[in-house]
Amino acid sequence: MEHKLPTIETARMLLRPVLPKDCYSVYELRSNLELMKYVPRPRCSSLLEARELITDGNNNQTKLNWSATLKGDDTCIGIMGFYRLYLEHFRAEVGYMMLASYHGRGLVTEALQALIAYGFDTLTLHTIEAVTDPDNFTSQHILLKAGFIKEAHFKENLFFDGRFLDSVHYTLHKNNWIAVG
């Protein structure tokens, strides 16, 4: 499915398609040890790798990826979107990262609500999933606030960087979102 990404507006932000000019922000996000602590993926080691992530993130057959920007400033402050689309099953996995200097302002929660609405209303998803590290309490709090429920805690189901990791899975079903939202 080819899908043209729209710009999504929230109260304080615009979520727009990720552009090559965002490679500096993507590099800052994906090379930061603290921000990547709970992400079982290799950190970026160059701007070229960040640019490749942008190109890969624009593959709208399996991913829909937005840059989060503040209204009035087109600088990318975060990336978020649907990273595993299973449209034949009406499911997708949502993910998000924001630069540390913007943490604690409710921006991820605000953007997540907009992505949920887009997923259910435009993509006609039935279920939105999220997977997090069991120690990432901030992300779990954001998901619970958005109406997600914890469905599973898998023990040592991922192997990354020479060790086995646990993962916690959350879901939000459209009928529950309507009741909450």
pLDDT by residue for the chain (181 residues), tens only, comes to 455 789 999 999 999 999 999 999 999 999 998 999 999 888 988 888 888 888 765 555 678 999 999 999 999 999 999 988 999 999 999 999 999 999 999 999 999 999 999 999 999 999 999 999 999 999 999 999 999 999 999 999 999 999 999 999 999 999 988 754 4
pLDDT at 181: 46
Rg (CA), the chain: 16
In this structure, what token pair is assigned to residue 161? Answer: 């960087």
Q: Are 13 and 70 in contact (CB under 8 A)?
A: yes
| Closest to 143 in 3D by CA, of 127, 132, 135 | 132
pTM (2 decimals)? 0.90
pLDDT at 127: 98
pLDDT at 4: 79
pLDDT at 59: 58
* Coil, helix or strand at residue 94: strand
The sign of the torsion formed by the CA atoms of 98, 101, 102, 104 equals positive
Q: Distance from first CA to last CA of the chain, Å, rounded? A: 28
Give the separation between CA 41 and CA 60, rounded to whole angstroms. Answer: 20
Fold observed for domain 8-180: Aminopeptidase (3.40.630)
pLDDT at 1: 45
The sign of the torsion formed by the CA atoms of 166, 68, 94, 162 equals negative
* Coil, helix or strand at residue 124: coil
Strands 127-132 and 91-98, by their bridges, are: parallel
Helix-strand-coil split of the chain, %, nearest 5? 35, 35, 35
pLDDT at 55: 76
Strands 64-70 and 163-173, by their bridges, are: unpaired
